[in-house]
């Protein structure tokens, strides 16, 4: 069979009132929508009507920022996604969970449960969680070292996949006549003993519709990219320019190939923060209005925390100090720190200008213009080795999503670059990815994560 034409993938990154930190201050914004099921249901339905692949909820086991800055309360993702599974039918449901502050058995069970409840639409954004605050919430004096967090994460995924494979696909027979509900010989222990975990198993949830939830990752440090090359099937990344997106895309595909995976089985989705207007001038005015509403006293403190410097060393109308700590000196979000510093140096930004740019997308690509201009930019990235699709991050919700869905998506559909209908029912099918074979069935061994090809179920 001839290969299908390559088309875009869109994930909606939901973030309270929008990704711009001042979005909650706009007239008409609901500053408590971060805690509203109805608000999330509306956004999920808009994205599903536009045929997005998935929606995504970020998370961290710590209060993210000064609660005065923006809506900072976060509902637990898998709980919220289970509720959204009831009010949607096709769109994928991706939630963040930490390998540093969870145990493999609980997390494997949670995502298998979500996959069952949603009919095969669950995805797990795998994070190692940077920051001392999270560590202190779990009785630790300091966060584990960066490399140690990724070593734990690697073993965590090994255990999780063993647990998801502990039930064969045909284990449940529900034979009323014989009185046998499941074949005991097809339910196996995980039997894992490693450096970080000892897990007997089996899981107490049968193998789910997708086998594994879609495995997503967002770290861009060296350790993060190596981890993504081994495990990730979709990668969220923050790259502010086309050239940086192209370099990241090529590097990650190369790394995946180097560990024996099909590079096309890793879907790269850089973030884009679109600010859309009927005219370019209208879009720029909305962008300017948002920037005027940024409260610099909060933004300055957050920037200083990321850079690991005293806030008093940052002067709003001066460039960043020259003697900042190097990436190697930071045990937190290494790649985000480097992205911010490189951006400020390259564009010769003052701290005030840098805060304005970060306020819109925290280092992701921001684009202000008309729907046609946004569509042109997306197409250019897609056709020039920079992206397989995008993590759509509306600056303002719900209006930014509604504008993207009603104005940008139809343009890309007319160009044959985005689906007009869902072809499958599972999240893996949306992304064109194969269902992992169970390592215990038919001598499969450890399943290779990869892309669907003709004739492969």
Res 105: pLDDT: 98
Is residue 96 a known part of a binding site? yes
Q: How far apart are CA 95 and CA 441, in angstroms?
A: 29
Is residue 220 a known part of a binding site? yes
Residues contacting residue 448 through CB under 8 Å, at least 6 positions apart: 260, 261, 436
DSSP secondary structure, 226-284, as one string: HHHHHH-SEEEE--SSHHHHHHHHHHHHHHHHHTT--GGGSEEEEEEEEEE-SSHHHHH
Neighbours of 119 (CB within 10 A): 16
Contact 116, 76 (CB under 8 A): no
pLDDT, average across residues 120-133: 93
Residue 384 lies in a domain: yes
Residue 3 lies in a domain: no
Res 453: pLDDT: 41
Compute and round to an integer the Cα radius of gyration of the chain: 22
Residue 438 lies in a domain: no
Between 106-120, 208-222, 353-367, the lowest mean confidence (pLDDT) is in: 353-367
Residue 186 lies in a domain: yes
Res 452: pLDDT: 47
pLDDT, average across residues 219-231: 90
% of the chain residues with pLDDT over 90: 67
Residue 35 lies in a domain: yes
Q: Tens of pLDDT along 28-66?
A: 899 999 999 999 999 999 999 999 999 999 999 988 777
Residue 342 lies in a domain: yes
Res 437: pLDDT: 93
Range of the domain at 110: 9-430
Residues contacting residue 142 through CB under 8 Å, at least 6 positions apart: 132, 135
3-class DSSP state of 408: helix
Residue 306: pLDDT over 80: no
Residues contacting residue 428 through CB under 8 Å, at least 6 positions apart: 120, 210, 214, 233, 434, 435, 452
* Mean pLDDT for the chain overall: 90
Confidence of residue 305 (pLDDT cuts 50, 70, 90): confident
Tell me the CATH number at 234. Answer: 3.20.20.30
Confidence of residue 350 (pLDDT cuts 50, 70, 90): confident
Q: Tens of pLDDT along 84-97?
A: 999 999 999 999 99
Confidence of residue 456 (pLDDT cuts 50, 70, 90): very low
3-class DSSP state of 368: strand
Is residue 221 a known part of a binding site? yes
Confidence of residue 387 (pLDDT cuts 50, 70, 90): very high
Instruction: Report in angstroms the alpha-carbon separations of 77 from 34, 57, 95, 123, 440.
Output: 12, 6, 5, 11, 31
Residue 448: pLDDT over 70: no
Residue 300 lies in a domain: yes
Residue 454 lies in a domain: no
Please state the domain count of the chain: 1
Is residue 150 a known part of a binding site? yes
Residues contacting residue 430 through CB under 8 Å, at least 6 positions apart: 9, 53, 54, 90, 92, 422, 424
Quote the pTM value: 0.88
């Amino acid at each position: 069979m001839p290969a299908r034409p390559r088309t875009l993938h869109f994930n909606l990154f939901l973030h309270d009132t929008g990704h711009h930190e001042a979005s909650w201050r706009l007239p008409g914004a609901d500053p408590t929508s971060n805690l509203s099921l109805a608000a999330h249901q509306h956004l999920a339905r808009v994205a599903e009507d536009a045929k997005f692949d998935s929606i995504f909820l970020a998370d961290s086991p710590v209060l993210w920022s000064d609660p005065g800055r923006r809506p900072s309360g976060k509902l637990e993702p898998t709980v919220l996604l289970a509720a959204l599974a009831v009010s949607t039918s096709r769109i994928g449901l991706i939630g963040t969970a930490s390998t540093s502050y969870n145990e493999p058995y609980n997390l494997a069970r949670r995502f298998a449960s979500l996959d069952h409840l949603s009919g095969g639409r669950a995805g797990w954004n795998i994070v190692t969680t940077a920051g001392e605050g999270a560590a202190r919430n779990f009785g630790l004096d300091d966060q584990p070292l960066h490399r140690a967090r990724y070593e734990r994460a690697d073993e965590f995924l090994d255990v999780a996949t063993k647990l998801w494979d502990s039930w064969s696909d045909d284990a449940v027979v529900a034979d009323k006549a014989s009185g046998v509900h499941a074949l005991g010989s097809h339910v196996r222990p995980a039997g894992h003993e490693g450096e970080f975990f000892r897990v007997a198993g089996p899981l107490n949830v049968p193998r789910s519709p997708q086998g594994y939830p879609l495995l997503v990752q967002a770290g861009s440090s060296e350790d993060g990219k190596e981890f993504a090359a081994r495990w990730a099937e979709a990668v969220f990344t923050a790259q502010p320019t086309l050239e940086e997106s192209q370099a990241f895309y090529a590097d990650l595909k190369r790394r995946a190939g180097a560990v024996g995976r099909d590079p096309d089985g890793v879907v790269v989705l850089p973030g884009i923060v679109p600010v859309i207007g009927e005219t370019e001038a209208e879009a720029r005015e909305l962008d300017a209005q948002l920037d005027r509403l940024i409260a610099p006293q909060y933004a300055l403190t957050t920037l200083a925390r990321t850079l690991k410097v005293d806030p008093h060393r940052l002067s709003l109308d001066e460039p960043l100090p020259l003697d900042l700590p190097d990436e190697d000196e930071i045990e937190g979000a290494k790649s985000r720190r480097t992205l911010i510093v490189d951006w400020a140096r390259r564009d010769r930004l003052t701290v005030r200008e840098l805060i304005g740019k970060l306020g819109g997308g925290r280092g992701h690509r921001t684009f202000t213009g008309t729907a046609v201009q946004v569509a042109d930019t997306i197409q250019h990235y897609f056709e020039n080795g920079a992206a397989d699709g995008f993590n759509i991050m509306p600056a303002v919700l719900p209006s930014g999503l509604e504008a993207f869905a009603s104005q940008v998506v139809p343009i890309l559909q007319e160009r044959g670059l985005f689906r007009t209908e869902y072809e499958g029912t599972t999240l893996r099918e949306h992304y064109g990815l194969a269902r992992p074979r169970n390592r215990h069935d038919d001598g499969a061994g450890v399943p290779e994560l990869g892309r669907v090809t003709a004739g492969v179920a």
